[in-house]
Amino acid sequence: MVTARHPLLSLVLAVSLALPVAACAAPSSSHPVPDVGNAVSPVPGVVSSGRLDASDVATLQANGFRQVIDLTPDDETPGFDEAGLVREAGMAYANLPIRVRQT
């Protein structure tokens, strides 16, 4: 549990939990938001989106993205090898699953 003794950690977790399924790191220069599902750019150089389709990986690559960060647990995987496809496209891939605490 996050307490008031860790306000920065609370902020980081709040921002992380507010992000949809995938976050993609774009080059630091100004790029338009790519045409992928539910994509938004909360800050320059970062795009947050919904679950990626296999065709979205090529779109990200074509728009100069360097990394995909998947925030979903392994049991919510898409119908394709997202990590493999992202890496084959020359981008870094990280999976940082965020789970809801079961009560």
**Tens digits of per-residue pLDDT, 58-101?**
999 998 999 999 998 877 877 889 999 999 999 999 999 887 77
CB 59 within 8 A of CB 35: yes
Beta bridge partners of 69: 23, 94
pLDDT band with cut points at 50, 70 and 90 for residue 1: very low
Sign for the CA dihedral angle at 81, 68, 53, 65 comes to: negative
In a domain, 83, yes or no: yes
How many domains is the chain partitioned into structurally? Answer: 1
* Whole-model pTM over 0.75: no
In a domain, 12, yes or no: no
Q: What angle do CA 71, 73, 76 make, to 5 degrees?
A: 105
In a domain, 55, yes or no: yes
Q: Which domain holds residue 49?
A: 21-95
In a domain, 50, yes or no: yes
In a domain, 11, yes or no: no
In a domain, 27, yes or no: yes
- With a pLDDT cut of 70, the percent of the chain lying above it is 70
In a domain, 74, yes or no: yes
